[in-house]
Amino acid sequence: MEGVVEMKGKLLVIGFGPGSFDQITKRAKEAIEESDIIIGYSTYVELIQGLLTDQEIVSTGMTEEVTRAREAVRQAEQGKKVAVISSGDAGVYGMAGLVYEVLVEKGWTQATGVEVEIVPGISAINSCAALLGAPVMHDACTISLSDHLTPWELIERRIEAAGHADFVVALYNPKSGRRTRQIVEAQRILLKYRSPDTPVGLVKSAYRDRQQVVLTTLENMLEHDIGMLTTVIIGNSSTFVYDGLMITPRGYQRKYTLTSDDQPLKLHQRLRKENEPWALEQETPKGTKTSLEWATEALSMVSQDSTPAVKPAIITKAATQPESIFEFAVSTGVANKKFTPQQMIALAEVAGEKGSIEYTPHHQMILRIPTSEPEAVTARLRSEGFLLSAIGDVVQLKACDFCDGEKTDSIPYADEIQESLGGLQVPKELKIGFNGCGMACYGAVKEDIGIVYRKGKFDLFLGAKTVGRNAHAGIPVAEGIEPEEIVPLVEDIVAFFKEKAYPNERFHKFFKRIGEIKGFKYQEVPAIQIEPMACGD
């Protein structure tokens, strides 16, 4: 058959990962082993030395990439199996594109030309991320700061866009001996959009002998060593550092809160089902379909009737699943307990069809609204005179109605407490009850901190246990506090709790454990003996 079968070569464009043999894929190893010739930058050829047997080596300097690609194509066309190697993935600032460019220039097609196999590898964004924790997680981009082949204005625009759109950014080629300005400029641009505290990971020589991993911030990143072999990973606005790890949460659900520093989403809340609206087993409000039902319906339509496969309505529905749920409490004010019809309409309108309104025992409505525009929601409600409060582990003021506005003397103090402490983040939710007369009919003495205005002065109660069979009122710790002293005193108590309480420790437990708060002593509350009940009683 000689002369009939043309001996066709093959181009294997191989990413060998970050550097260590453990991080090379099985296929990449095999591909290197089965090649006749290895073509690559000399440092890379050295890195894979241990895998080589009797292959011919063509190694050249860094800048001779085009020469390398041409040589590879030439050798393959002569019937050789040629491996072109790149670090990381060959398709990420590597040789893959270049090899195709050379082929295209020569009129190559898949059917007629030499066979090409691109062998994927672990790119620096992935290897470096793994060493840092889980910084990528969400939408991310890679930007190479090398302006060798790309105009700097374009690179600048990309950094700008990535900053603006809150992408996690992996900067490749951040700096070299001669190129030192670009990383400074990149930092300057990103600081326009991101907090100086944004976590930044610097990983040098990942999975190689001189590996270095540094965790820093956007503000301080330039104080560390950054070079040719560094990848810089810049977090998004949700990225956080925990125990030396850089972590970007999976989503932004309930990211919107009333003030930026209160009520961050806690892990157990984030991991709830309702925070994964896209999950198939997700429960949905009565009368609406679950994702699984939508998917099943779509599938049955596809299999029964292939034209048109899926009706557009289904696609639209699935695509508009909410990503962020804005959760907060509304009330009609510190002292006012009456809703106007307009306010009720406003509540219904902002909640819309998908939001929910929950009435709580704390004279509040909790709103949960899927939205991408929390500011529009808050602006609307505030314009209707609503008081908006954060919920979760924050300070909340529960005031009475001051006898329908008749006993107004103490209202300014309640307002001041709301202003100063409302929404403040604390280790565990903390309710301050504030009642405008000795009747205390709104139950101030049943809150964590109870304040009762009586005969021009204030009485103070601390540490009520509000729930359970052994619920009890707060301990009366002081009477006749001068009005000008009450706000600073409560502020001090809250500050002490905030500083000293364990995470999740309720105020009454804290009081019992610590024994004394700002000079007020804890006293044991007489426990009523409750006979254990026989089953069924």
Do β-strands 10-15 and 81-86 pair in parallel, antiparallel, or remain unpaired? parallel
Q: What per-residue string of b and e applies to 225-245 under the rule 16 or more CB within 10 Å gives b?
A: ebeebbbbbbbbebbbbeeee
Q: What per-residue string of b and e applies to 473-509 under the rule 16 or more CB within 10 Å gives b?
A: bbbebbeebeeeebbebbeebbeebeeebeeebbbbe
| Of 418, 238, 222, nearest in space to 336 by CA | 418
- 86 touches ligand SAH by CB under 6 A: yes
- 475 touches ligand SAH by CB under 6 A: no
Secondary structure of residue 461 in the 3-state scheme: strand
- 172 touches ligand SAH by CB under 6 A: yes
Q: Cβ of residue 15: shortest distance to ligand SAH, in angstroms?
A: 6
Looking at the Cβ atoms of 198 and 230, the one nearer to ligand SAH is 230
User: Which of 24, 39, 103, 124 is close enough to bind ligand SAH by CB under 6 A?
Assistant: 124
Looking at the Cβ atoms of 141 and 351, the one nearer to ligand SAH is 141
Considering only 40-48, 224-232, 345-353, 422-430, which stretch makes contact with ligand SAH by CB under 6 A?
A: 224-232
Q: Cβ of residue 503: shortest distance to ligand SAH, in angstroms?
A: 36
Looking at the Cβ atoms of 65 and 393, the one nearer to ligand SAH is 65
The whole-angstrom separation of Cα 474 and Cα 489 is 17
Q: Cβ of residue 278: shortest distance to ligand SAH, in angstroms?
A: 30
Contact 52, 29 (CB under 8 A): no
Q: Cβ of residue 62: shortest distance to ligand SAH, in angstroms?
A: 10
Residue nearest to ligand SAH (CB): 88
Contact 436, 455 (CB under 8 A): no
Distances (CA, A) of 292 to 251, 275, 320, 370: 21, 16, 16, 20
Looking at the Cβ atoms of 123 and 396, the one nearer to ligand SAH is 123
- 205 touches ligand SAH by CB under 6 A: yes
Q: Tell the burial category of 201 from Cβ atoms under 10 Å away from its Cβ (0-12, 13-18, 19+).
A: buried
- 463 touches ligand SAH by CB under 6 A: no
Q: Which amino acid is at 404?
A: D
Considering only 121-129, 459-467, 490-498, 503-511, which stretch makes contact with ligand SAH by CB under 6 A?
A: 121-129
Looking at the Cβ atoms of 23 and 364, the one nearer to ligand SAH is 23
Considering only 157-165, 228-236, 403-411, 481-489, which stretch makes contact with ligand SAH by CB under 6 A?
A: 228-236
Residues contacting residue 426 through CB under 8 Å, at least 6 positions apart: 393, 394, 395, 494, 497, 498, 501
Looking at the Cβ atoms of 117 and 349, the one nearer to ligand SAH is 117
User: Which of 23, 35, 75, 173 is close enough to bind ligand SAH by CB under 6 A?
Assistant: 173
- 141 touches ligand SAH by CB under 6 A: no
DSSP 269-306: HHTSGGG-TT-TT----TTS--HHHHHHHHHHHHHH--
- 23 touches ligand SAH by CB under 6 A: no
- 213 touches ligand SAH by CB under 6 A: no
- 228 touches ligand SAH by CB under 6 A: yes
Contact 71, 58 (CB under 8 A): yes
- 233 touches ligand SAH by CB under 6 A: no
Strand order through the sheet with 140-144:
140-144, 168-172, 230-234, 199-204, 212-217
| Of 91, 38, 84, nearest in space to 65 by CA | 84
Residue ranges in 352-476 assigned as alpha helix (H): 374-383, 402-405, 411-421
- C-beta neighbour count of 460 within 10 angstroms: 24
How many chain residues are in contact with ligand SAH, going by CB under 6 A?
24
Looking at the Cβ atoms of 208 and 255, the one nearer to ligand SAH is 208
- 182 touches ligand SAH by CB under 6 A: no
- Phi and psi at residue 426, in whole multiples of 5°? -135, 165
- 407 touches ligand SAH by CB under 6 A: no
- 206 touches ligand SAH by CB under 6 A: yes
Looking at the Cβ atoms of 222 and 280, the one nearer to ligand SAH is 222
User: Which of 38, 45, 92, 432 is close enough to bind ligand SAH by CB under 6 A?
Assistant: 92
Residues near ligand SAH (CB under 6 A) are 18-19, 86-89, 92-94, 123-124, 128, 172-173, 203-208, 228-231
